[in-house]
Each structure stands twice: as structure tokens, then as C-alpha cells.
A and B are shown apart, each in its own frame.
Chain A
Amino acid sequence: MPAFSGERFVRLLLLLSLRLPGGSPADLPMTTEDASQTQGNLTQMPTRLNESSTEPMTTTRIVNRQTRESISDHSPVGHGVSTPGPDLTTQDFKQAIEEKASNFTYVEYEILLSGVSGTSKEKNITLDNPAKVELSCRLASKYPHLNIVQVAWKRGNETIKHINKTENSWSIQLTVTDENELGSYSCTLKGEEEFKAVFHLQVPKIEGKEKPIISYDGDSVVMICKSSSYTPIAWTWYLTNGSEQIAINDSLMSDKYVIDRVPANTTHLKILKLTKKDDGAYWCEAVFKLGKSKGKLKLKVLTFMVPLKPFLVILAEVIILVAIVFLYEVYSKKKEKHAEDEKEFEQAEQLKSEESNGVESSSTRHRKV
């Protein structure tokens, strides 16, 4: 936790340093709305220092994610926040700490626009808890000559007021408190060339299993859904009946369904006494503060006849092969014996003739060996 609060503190210090005399010219064209928002931000950050143990985890995560995503997008966004705002005195700061504010985390994302005009870059942002989000579009510094006349931030058809963060970046700030505020936000830069970038704000996706889980009549099955980095508030399971999805109530049908929700980011659905009717698609739904997300799992219920057929086929093959081997052995032994008997007969004849000749034959000796 000290590391986390240290980071927040550094950001706060950076922010304060920017507020000191000699702020950038771009600070000036700011609306009061933005200023209050920034102030709100400042109030958030100190309170973060006193946050309970669970919250810091999410914040650090978000900060890290933010850095990672930014880096992957080739836009180095430092932790230093260059959001303009009014000058703050130490007294204001103290006041801010004492203020009670909501548990909002602060994240920012940036898309660096470069390359061919007309192409649009996209970014997926996952949010599970309410947050203040700043989205910015930055034009790569190699295009200073392009006169960007018009900058538009839109969500669908609705235009959002933006701020000119620096001379070649524009951003909007959003407070996302429920799922209505999620969606796709786009920024369009028009000038000599046109650039577009889209941010998709979404709840975390739950992954189901692509391959069906296979089980048998009368057996039981356990289906698991995991949400790796985000902890949902609640889990619900649905089964598909025709085209509708029906929630599974495990308290009502406790001899058929058992739902295990511990630990919080995993859920187990155990279905007992399977029948053919239980075959089909199941959904596990994770409820986050900002919305719901579903994962699909497929269950296939087979009868025991299904694997029994290949089993019997292979069993038959084994028996046939063993029989063939033994029959061949008996057959070749008979052949050998037959040949030996003939040889013995010949030897006996030869012995008789040799004895009568009085010559020892070495061939007998050979045969003995």
C-alpha cells in the first residue's frame, strides 16, 4: 500500500507544480466546468490516501493498465497529469483532504494519431467500477503543419465538449457511474487531413468455454466461470429454454443445482442427476457496478452407449488379434512337428544304413546341438 499511495502523492505533487506560476498557455481556455471537475479530481486524490484496503488495489491496477495500454499504443503518457486547473494553495489542499468524496478512481487514456488519414484507431477500455475517465486524442508531433480546424468528440450523434489539453491533444472527461455512460466515444480531427479515433468503454468480459463440457446420464457436472482481474458484485446462472434464458434458483431446486460463489471472482455451478434435458447452453452472468457481462458454456449429456461402442469395437479387435496369434502359433507348431517327424524318420533310416556300414555319422551329433 505504501507504493500505491506514493504514486498518488507523486501525481498530486506534479499537479501542484504545474499549478505554480508559469502554467502552460493552453491552460487558459478552460471552462469553469472543467475547473470544478479538476478540483473534484484533486479532492479525490487526497482521499485516496485514506482509502480502505480494497480500493487501493483497483486504483493501482487501473494506473498500471493505463500505462500499459498507453505504451502499447505508442503514446507515452506519463503519470504526470497536465490537466489544467486553478491555482491551489496549501490551505485548499488541506480542505480537500477533509472533504468527504465518493470512491471514484481516476483513469486516463490516450490515442496517438498518426499515419494515413482516413483510418480510425480504436481502443477498448474495461471498467468494472464507477470512475472518472479522461479520453484524449493526440496528434503526432510530426504533423504540426496540418491546421486542425475542427475537433469533434462524439458519442453516437451527441457532441461532447472537449478541452484543448496541449497544442496538439484534445480530451474529454467523463464520470462513468452506470452503464448508460458506457459505450463508444469518438474524436474526429478535421483539417487538411482527417483523423478519427474511437474509445470503447465496456464492462469486463467473462469468458466461457468454447468446447462443450461432456457428461453422462445420471452423472453430475461442475461448470466454472472465472473473472480474472475484476471482482463482480454478484453472479447469476441462466439456462436456455428454447430461446429464453431462465435464471437458475439454487435454493429452490437444491437437489438439482448447487451454486458456489466463493471465492468472489469464481463461481461454480454443479448440476446433479443429469438427464438429456439438461443438454444445452448455460450462461454465467457477472454483475458489476457498471453493468453485467455474460459468458457462455455448453453442456452435452451423453448416454453411456456412446463411448461403449468404440470400447466394444476395440475389445473385439483385441480378442480377434489374440485368437489369430494363437492360431498361427498352433499352426506353425504343427508344421514344425511334422517337419521334425519327417526328419527323425530320415535320421532313423540313415542310422540304420550307417550302422550297417559301420560308420559314425556326424550329422546326428549336429542335430543334437
Chain B
Amino acid sequence: MPVAAGRAASPPDGGWGWVVVFGAFVSIGFAYAFAKGITIFFKEIQDFFGTSYSEVAWVSSIMLATTYGAGPISSILVNRYGSRPVVMFGGLLCGIGMVSAAFCTSILQLYICVGFITGLGLALNLQPSVIIIGKYFLKRRPIANGLAMAGSPVMLCTLAPLNQFLFDNFGWRGSFLILGAILLNCCVAGALFRPIGVAKQSVKNQMIEEGKEAPKEEVTKMSMEMRNPAYAPAETKTEEEEEKDCCEKINRYLDFSLFKHRGFLIYLIGNVLMFLGFFAPIVFLAPYAKHIGIDEYSAAFLLSILAIVDMIARPATGVIANSKWVRPRIQYFFSFSIAFNGACHLLCPLASGYTGLVVYSIFFGLAFGMVCAMLFETLMDLVGAARFTSAVGLVTIVECCTILLGPPIGGTIIDTFGDYKYMFIKCGAVMVLAGTFLFIMNYYNYRMLAKEEKERKAKEEDPKIVRTENEGRSNWNKETLQDGPELEPLRDEQEGLKTEVNGTNEV
């Protein structure tokens, strides 16, 4: 189905797409950086409520858990209503959460307002932003992804001094109030997520020209994704609802059939493994530096170096991943960057003194940026832009567990052995393992896809309309057949153009 949509109307790959990238930049930036940036207020809150530091740190953990765990909810809502209303509602929810947090009188209320409500709002920001990039870009998608993901370090670098300034001038209550207003800017970002109009045109034409021959499932599915109330498919949809059975109905909201998808499973297993060792080194970098005798400000500076290198690495990775040498084999590049990240951690214990740690921070920042920039790009590549909506929700809820487990496991290792190097070795080993796993499995996957491509090309000898119909029907039956890497539309698009020039056209 995505192949047909691609041929009928390819994503613009530019124009308004760059504005959408900017909106996604802001949205993703807030989603990732906010939980970290808010830690500046914790000391004061701890003193105010008379709790221990770990009780206050739960606020951040709950926020992060909700942001990842509410992924499926996000996906369902985007499948139903499209990205724009979801992001705007998410921004509103964040604002309400933080404003009500300003009036909290107990730490439990803070857990709910800051942790749960704001976390949910951020989840409704994160997933749709990533999804809409997939809808607006195809040929330049890695660059767009890299640029959008760069929002995270930039926001973190901005939020840290901003939060300090707000705290010095307004105390924690006033700061929460103002941060609520700042989070409302996510609504502005959401407003920029114009539902993509090009595919609508193709649907309209398909309906007019092909009538009932047009795969009904495709039409309803596209109308789900890019719903415009002023639009005809509403009638078609009500007709279809009665015809669908239970499984398909659920799959319409959240595509559980993805769990049969080979590429998706490979990605899921590899990423779950990777996240066990992904965030722990950042959390423990400053304490490790202090442990080996570096003063507090230099230790904090290490994290700034990391953030700055990260900021530059993400768009750069996007550009590299978009080049014609890397794009077809982007999964290998992703596996390489994970393994590179792991290698950095394994070498960290060898770093002696401040200069060693600075070098480590630079390489870590580079590796971290590379992995993050391609995190969603590779999923899109494996699963296709249409099913990406559900895929991202399912992936984030499964990753949620390992993300939250990573730093505490690292902490327990440090406490047990009394030495930081074992934590670095553990993280490095886990990531190298994840990288190797992904590399091998993707090699296998590429081969299988090449095989299936050959089979499909053989079928292409049949009349083209039959093939489109078959594709549409096989939408629900044979997922593996249709969801090849996104290069399919690229190559087929070229073919399509050729055939058009020759006078024949496939619709």
C-alpha cells in the first residue's frame, strides 16, 4: 500500500516539509530534554517538602516512563486523527500539567502533575513529530530525521541555563508556571504539522476513476492517517466499518500485525538490547569524573562538550545517511554506530585524567548523536511510512522498560563493585552485542528482501491493475511481501516516471 501511495503521490521532500522539520525539532527537543532540565529544581523541592533526593528524582523517572510508555496511545490517536491535533492537544496537556504543578502542596501531587500529566503530553508530542517527518520526506528523510532529532541537545543546552535563571528569579513555583507557558509552544509546533495534502488528491482521483475497484482498505486507511473533516471518504468509511472484523478493527488503530514483521522484530530486539547500556554512561559521567578527582565544574563541562558534539553529529549523520552509498545500506550504518558507541564505553576505563575524559566525551557525543539521529529513520526504513505510526508506539512501550532499567542497573553495578569501570564495560559490551546482532540480522533481512523483490518483479509481468489489487488485498494478509525497505518507492518511482513518459500510465 505505501508503494502505491508513493507512486501516486510522493512526499514533497522539501517546501513546507522543512517547516515541519522545525516544528518537529521543537517538539522532540522538549520531549527529550525536559525531564533532564527539570532536575535543577529538585534540591529546592526536596528541602521544601522535606523528602529525600531519591523521592524527588522519581518525578523525572515517572515523566520519562510516561513519555515512552504512552507511545501506543499516541500511535492510536495519530492513526485516528492525524499528527496535528494530537501534538496540539499534547502541548496543551503539558501546559496544564506544569501550571497545576505550580500549585502543588505535596510530592505526590507533583508526581501526578509533573510526572504523569506532563509526561503524557510530551509523549503526545514525541511520536507524532517523528511520524509526520516520515510523511513529508522520503528521498531526504535521513537529513530531516537528523535535523529534527538535533532538537534534543539544543533544547537541553537552552533549558539548563533558562531553568537556572527562572529559579533564581521566581523560585520553583513561579518557574513551573512559566515553564508551563513555554511548553505551550509545542502547540505552535503542532500547528505547523499541516496534514499532507498531496496524497488526499490521489485518493480523490482514485475514487472518482477507479470506483469500487480501488482497494477499499487503502482508502480508509489513508483517510484515517490524513483525515480532513471536509472530505468525502467519511461515507466510504462508515460502509467499511461494518465489513471489517475485530482483528482488522484493532489493527486499524494499532497495527499489532507488525509483530509478524521480520524487520520490525529485528529492530525491536536489537534496540531493546541497546537501551540497556545507552543512557547509563551519561547519567554516571559526571559522578565518575568527580570520583577520579575532577572538580564539579569541569565535570559539568564534560556534559556540555557531549551536548555540543551531539548537536553537530545529528544533522551530519543525517546528511551522511542520505548519501547514495549509505542510504541503501542504512541498517549497517546504524549497527556500526551502535557498535562504535559500545567500543567508546569499553575504552573509557583506559582514559586517565581530564584530557582522557574530554576525548571520551567527544567520541561519546559523536556516537550518541549518530545513534539518535538514525533511531527512527531505520525503523521507518524497515517498516514503511504508513505502518510507522503503529510501529513507533509499539517500539517505545517495549523500550520503556529497558530505558528505565539501564541507569539503576548501572548504579547497582557501581555500588556492588565500588568501581565505575565495570559499569562502562557492561554498557560497552551490551551495545557491541546489540550492534553485532543488528548487523548480522539485517544482512539476513536484506538478503530475504532481495529474494522477495525478485519474486515480485516476476509477478510484475501480469497486468498492472491486477497487481495493484493484489497488493491492496494482500495488505492485510501478507505483510512481509509489501513492506520492503523504503527504497522500493524510489526505484519504482523512477520506473513510473519512465512509463509515464512512454505514454502508459498506471494508476
Contacts and interface: CB of A to CB of B under 8 A. Distances in A.
A214 B177 contact: no
Given A311-B180, A318-B185, 7 more contacts: A214-B169, A222-B47, A268-B50, A302-B174, A307-B177, A307-B178, A325-B192
A216 B174 contact: yes
Interface of B: 8-9, 47-48, 50, 88, 99, 168-171, 173-175, 177-178, 180-182, 184-185, 187-188, 191-192, 194, 202, 205, 209, 496, 500, 503, 505, 507
B171 A310 contact: no
A7 interface: no
A133 to B, nearest CB: 32
A217 B99 CA distance: 17
B186 to A, nearest CB: 9
A315 B209 contact: no
Contacts of B50: 222, 268
B185 A308 contact: no
Interface of A: 211, 213-216, 219, 221-222, 224, 268, 302, 306-308, 310-312, 314-315, 318, 321-322, 325-326, 329, 362, 365-366, 368-369
A365 B171 contact: no
Given A224-B47, A369-B500, A318 B171 contact: no
Contacts of B174: 214, 216, 302, 306-307
Given A315-B184, A325-B188, A325-B192, A302 B170 contact: yes
B187 A362 contact: no
Given A215-B171, A219-B173, A222-B48, A368 B209 contact: yes
Given A325-B191, A368-B507, A314 B184 contact: yes
Contacts of A308: 177
Given A213-B171, A222-B47, A311 B505 contact: no
A216 B185 CA distance: 26
B151 to A, nearest CB: 17
Contacts of A325: 188, 191-192
Going nearest first, the 5 A-B pairs with the smallest beta carbon separation are A307-B174, A214-B171, A314-B181, A325-B191, A321-B188
Contacts of B99: 311
B181 A365 contact: no
A329 B180 CA distance: 27
Nearest to A214: B171
Contacts of A366: 500
Most buried by B among A314, A329, A365: A314
A329 B188 CA distance: 13
Nearest to A213: B171
Contacts of B188: 318, 321-322, 325
A312 B185 CA distance: 13
Contacts of A365: 500, 505
A329 to B, nearest CB: 6
B505 A318 contact: no
Contacts of A216: 171, 173-174
A295 to B, nearest CB: 15
A214 B170 contact: yes
A312 B503 CA distance: 60
Contacts of B205: 368
Contact of B507 (A268, A302, A321, A369): A369
Given A302-B174, A311-B181, A318-B181, A369 B505 contact: yes
The SS class assigned to the A binding surface is helix
11 contacts: A215-B171, A222-B50, A224-B47, A314-B178, A318-B187, A329-B194, A366-B500, A368-B205, A369-B8, A369-B9, A369-B507
Contacts of B202: 369
B181 to A, nearest CB: 4
Contact of B181 (A213, A214, A315, A329): A315
A362 B178 contact: no
Contacts of A222: 47-48, 50
Contacts of B496: 369
A102 to B, nearest CB: 39
Contacts of B171: 213-216, 302
B342 to A, nearest CB: 41
Contacts of A211: 168
Contacts of A310: 178, 181
Contacts of A368: 205, 209, 505, 507
A302 B170 CA distance: 8
A141 B48 CA distance: 57
B185 to A, nearest CB: 6
A307 B175 CA distance: 8
Nearest to B206: A368
Contacts of B175: 307
Nearest to A224: B47
Contacts of B191: 321-322, 325-326
A307 B185 contact: no
Contact of A307 (B9, B47, B170, B503): B170
A362 B181 contact: no
B182 A314 contact: yes
A170 to B, nearest CB: 38
B27 to A, nearest CB: 14
B474 to A, nearest CB: 23
Nearest to B167: A214
A306 B503 CA distance: 69
A312 B184 CA distance: 11
Nearest to A270: B50
Contacts of B177: 307-308, 311
A271 to B, nearest CB: 12
A311 B8 CA distance: 46
Nearest to B99: A311
A253 to B, nearest CB: 20
Contacts of A268: 50
Contacts of A326: 191
Given A315-B181, A318-B185, A325-B188, A306 B170 contact: yes
A318 to B, nearest CB: 5
B187 to A, nearest CB: 6
B247 to A, nearest CB: 34
A369 B504 CA distance: 12
A185 to B, nearest CB: 33
Contacts of A369: 8-9, 202, 496, 500, 505, 507
A323 to B, nearest CB: 9
